[in-house]
Structure 1
Amino acid sequence: MMFVRYGLLAIIGFTGGFVIAAGLVAFITVIGVLTRLAIRTNTASRIMMYEDVVVLGAGIGNIVILFELNLPFGIIGMIIFGGFAGSFVGCLAVALEEVIQVFPIFAQRIKLKFGIPFIVFCLALGKGVGALLHLYMKYK
């Protein structure tokens, strides 16, 4: 009976992780980070390589975080990782800024007259509280 329970939990965990990872990669693709990056760098012929690297990076990043692996090469490895992570976050932030421009169009379509600052405040507050909880709470 215990084997079935652990097997079921493993299947649920695996499929949940798969769905979240697929959603992240789809989100990055939909907001156009890779397309804009390829166009700006004149490397549009290598767009498939960009997509493969994003999927590979997400997978390796998940493994490193899940199993709490140490990065190799000491401080040099941290500097290299920090550079790549900073570049990714910067590209994602610029792409999200363009997505944020959807809010006024959405508000106009649903005929929302007031409350937009409150909605944006609630989104920011929820993101901040979630980040703080994730940072300071230990899950064991």
Structure 2
Amino acid sequence: MSPGACLLMVLIGLGGGLAVGSGFVAFITVLDIIPRLTQLTNAHRYIRGFEWALVSGVLVFTLIDFFHWGMELPVLVTAIYGLIAGVFVGTLAAGLTEVLNVFPILAKRLSMDGNLLLLLMAVVFGKVTGSLLQWLLHL
């Protein structure tokens, strides 16, 4: 491969990474995800910790993906990691839906104003069922 082609690939990769990273930062910043997440978990005093955990996690897992690092871990450790990662994604999604008021709007559009709890339970059971199917059946 010629040096010019290599340089072009590096520039395209860096440009794509900057675009995705900028979008992620804009998403987190503009929608106030971290402050809302601390509000939902009643952990206002740990807001800097949440921010550093998010930045550190993104950096570490980018390096893991970039350098193809891998580990052989016991099933129990992997299960605990999966549980913690799932809780993080769930609370992040909860913070996002809280910011955007998704469920009240969806309930009004579906004419389910009085059944908001039923709508929330349907979403929760659907996510749990889908996750279990993917995890158990590798779909």
- Per-residue deviation, 1:5: 1.6
Superposed displacement of residue 58, structure 1: 1.4
Bigger mean CA deviation after superposition, 55-64 or 5-14 = 55-64
- Root-mean-square deviation (Å): 3.0
Q: Where does residue 92 of structure 2 map in the other structure?
A: 92
Residue equivalent to 1:34 = 34
Q: Distance in 1 between matches of 2:52 and 2:37?
A: 14
Q: Give the Cα separation in 2 of the matches to 1:13 and 1:43.
A: 37
Q: Note the C-alpha offset of 1:100.
A: 5.5
Check conservation: 2:40, 2:95, Cα contact below 8 A: no
| SS of equivalent residue, structure 1 residue 23 | helix
**Distance in structure 2 (CA, Å) of the matches to 1:20 and 1:93:** 19
Verify: 1:50 aligned to 2:46, yes or no: no
Q: 1:40, CA displacement in angstroms? A: 4.1
Distance 2:53 2:24 in 1: 14
Name the counterpart of 2:102. 101
Q: Which residue of 2 aligns with 1:2?
A: 2
Runs of 5+ unmatched residues, structure 2:
106-138
Cα separation, 1, equivalents of 2:80 and 2:28: 22
Question: Distance between the aligned counterparts of 2:21 and 2:91, measured in 1?
Answer: 18
**TM (normalized to structure 2)?**
0.58
Amino acid at match of 2:81: F
Per-residue Cα deviation, 1:38-97 (whole angstroms, up to 9, x for no partner): 234443233222112101111222233344432453323312321221012111221332
Percent identical residues: 32
SS of 2:69's equivalent in the other structure is coil
- Counterpart mapping for 1:1-140 below 5 A: 2-71=2-71, 73-98=73-98, 99=100, 101=102
**Is the Cα–Cα contact under 8 Å of residues 21 and 58 in structure 1 kept in the other structure?**
no
How has the CA–CA distance of structure 1 residues 43 and 14 changed in structure 2, closer, same or farther, with 3 Å as cutoff?
Answer: same
TM-score of the superposition, structure 1-length normalised?
A: 0.57
